[in-house]
């Protein structure tokens, strides 16, 4: 199976409610979709959103990096040599992690199709069911409590609460939500870099003293403030998870060595795809540091790949935050990954099993 062409398309999906974090507010998902064609007629699909504030990638930069830099290096190459292909992708250009991720997802889709197995089996197998949390956006307290109750009614057992705009209000938000759902759901906090280290310690100790049990707190301080992450990790009982502070395997090693976090959030859009995500899971497993699989606000093409990866690495990827598709009004992608509120299941069709994508606009 040889690569013959790489094509580009755009996919837009409206969200049920606007997604608000300490950094941004968004009302629809818009991804670049990559279609890798081969001489057997089989196609591989990948995708990536623009997350300029987090990874620096835009739709334009994703398309350009693949079209101008990566595509010429891959045309004519054998899908069977997946390790060679991912090395070519990773070495082709510095950074541009989301572009690399989109392309790697399509390549792995084809690699699994070549051996006629779903991707998770090719990556090592596992039990193909996952249970994801759902994000509760930053808002007025009443609205956040209402959204949390609704999520629990839909069957979500873990809620990821976005905080990080105003420390006093954040504490009130969490207490109010906890009072409402403490018997039915676990709470994760994501501050999206919105606090200072001292604020984080103050808020978490306040919550701990008030009896609020949190599963974890995610990225309380700025991405580049590893000293701050370490300061918090040393001072609170609540496990601290690094999201924007770690992208690739080297950063994970540094972070683990200085103990700047208890948990690592792996996102394909930060790692540059599946090959580095595998490395990170293996590094974390070696050090017995638990991982979460996360996603950006992205469509179910790339989230499907993340689900396959998480199943195969479930020994260490034990926390699932793949709620992108369930935040959307509908799922335009028919693949072998079924997103049904909190429940994610994978069937046995080859690769990512993508049969059709509604509303795809070819470029
Ligand atoms: Mg996060």
DSSP string, 72-100: HHHTT-BTT-HHHHHHHHHHSSSS-HHHH
DSSP-assigned letter for residue 166: -
Neighbours of 45 (CB within 10 A): 26
**Distance from the CA of 184 to the center of ligand 1, in angstroms?**
23
The answer to whether residue 162 is catalytic is yes
Residue 139: helix, strand or coil by DSSP? coil
User: Which residues share a beta bridge with 10?
Assistant: 32, 361
**Distance from the CA of 112 to the center of ligand 1, in angstroms?**
29
User: CA 85, 91, 97: angle at the middle one, nearest 5?
Assistant: 90
Residue 360: predicted pLDDT: 97
**Which residues make up the CATH 3.20.20.120 domain(s) of the chain?**
121-357
Q: List the structure tokens of 41.
A: 């007629």
Round to whole Å and give the CA distance between 308 and 185.
25
Residue 17: predicted pLDDT: 87
Verdict on whether the full-model pTM lies above 0.75 = yes
**Distance from the CA of 244 to the center of ligand 1, in angstroms?**
7
Round to whole Å and give the CA distance between 363 and 352.
22
Q: List the structure tokens of 3.
A: 């690569």
**Distance from the CA of 219 to the center of ligand 1, in angstroms?**
6
Residue 22: predicted pLDDT: 74
Q: List the structure tokens of 308.
A: 């396959």
The answer to whether residue 2 is catalytic is no
Judge: domain 121-357, CATH 3.20.20.120.
yes
**Which residues make up the CATH 3.30.390.10 domain(s) of the chain?**
3-116
**Distance from the CA of 218 to the center of ligand 1, in angstroms?**
6
**Distance from the CA of 266 to the center of ligand 1, in angstroms?**
10
**Distance from the CA of 40 to the center of ligand 1, in angstroms?**
39
Residue 182: predicted pLDDT: 96
Mean pLDDT by 10 residues, the chain (363 residues): 98 91 85 98 98 95 98 98 98 98 99 98 98 94 96 97 90 97 96 95 97 97 97 98 97 97 98 98 98 96 98 98 94 97 97 97 98
**Distance from the CA of 355 to the center of ligand 1, in angstroms?**
31
Residue 18: predicted pLDDT: 87
- Which residue of the set 71, 100, 267, 319 is catalytic? 267
Judge: domain 3-116, CATH 3.90.79.10.
no
Q: CB-based burial of residue 296 (10 Å sphere; 0-12 exposed, 13-18 middle, 19+ buried)? A: buried
Q: CB-based burial of residue 16 (10 Å sphere; 0-12 exposed, 13-18 middle, 19+ buried)? A: exposed
- Which residue of the set 71, 121, 162, 270 is catalytic? 162
């Amino acid at each position: 199976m040889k690569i013959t062409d790489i094509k580009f398309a755009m996919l837009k999906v409206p969200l049920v409610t606007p997604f608000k974090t300490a950094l941004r507010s968004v009302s629809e998902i818009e991804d670049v979709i990559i279609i890798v064609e081969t001489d057997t007629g089989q196609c591989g699909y990948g995708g990536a959103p623009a997350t300029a504030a987090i990874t620096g990638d835009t739709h334009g930069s994703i398309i350009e990096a693949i079209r101008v830099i990566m595509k010429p290096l891959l045309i004519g190459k054998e899908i069977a040599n997946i390790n060679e292909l991912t090395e070519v992708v990773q070495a082709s250009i510095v950074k541009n992690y989301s572009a690399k991720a989109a392309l790697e997802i399509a390549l792995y889709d084809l690699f699994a199709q070549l051996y006629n197995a779903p991707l998770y089996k090719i990556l090592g197998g596992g039990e193909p069911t996952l249970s994801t949390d759902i994000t509760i956006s930053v808002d007025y307290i009443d609205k956040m409590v209402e959204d949390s109750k609704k999520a629990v009614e839909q069957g979500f057992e873990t809620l990821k609460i976005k905080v990080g705009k105003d420390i006093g209000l954040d504490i009130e938000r969490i207490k109010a939500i906890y009072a409402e759902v403490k018997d039915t759901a676990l709470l994760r906090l994501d501050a999206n870099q919105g606090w200072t280290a001292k604020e984080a310690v103050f808020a978490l100790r306040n919550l701990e003293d008030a009896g609020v049990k949190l599963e974890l707190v995610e990225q309380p301080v700025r991405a580049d403030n590893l000293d701050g992450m370490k300061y918090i990790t040393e001072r609170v009982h609540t496990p601290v998870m690094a999201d924007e502070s770690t992208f690739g395997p080297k950063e994970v090693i540094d972070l683990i060595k200085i103990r700047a976090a208890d948990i690592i959030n792996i996102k394909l859009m930060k790692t540059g795809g599946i090959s580095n995500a595998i490395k990170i899971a293996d590094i974390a497993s070696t050090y017995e540091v638990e991982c979460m699989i996360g996603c950006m606000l992205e469509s179910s093409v790339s989230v499907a790949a993340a689900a396959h990866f998480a199943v195969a690495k479930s020994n260490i990827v034990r926390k699932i935050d793949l709620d992108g598709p369930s935040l959307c009004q509908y799922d335009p992608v028919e693949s072998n990954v079924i997103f049904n509120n909190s429940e994610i299941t994978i069937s046995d069709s080859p690769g990512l099993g993508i049969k059709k994508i509604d509303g795809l606009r070819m470029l």
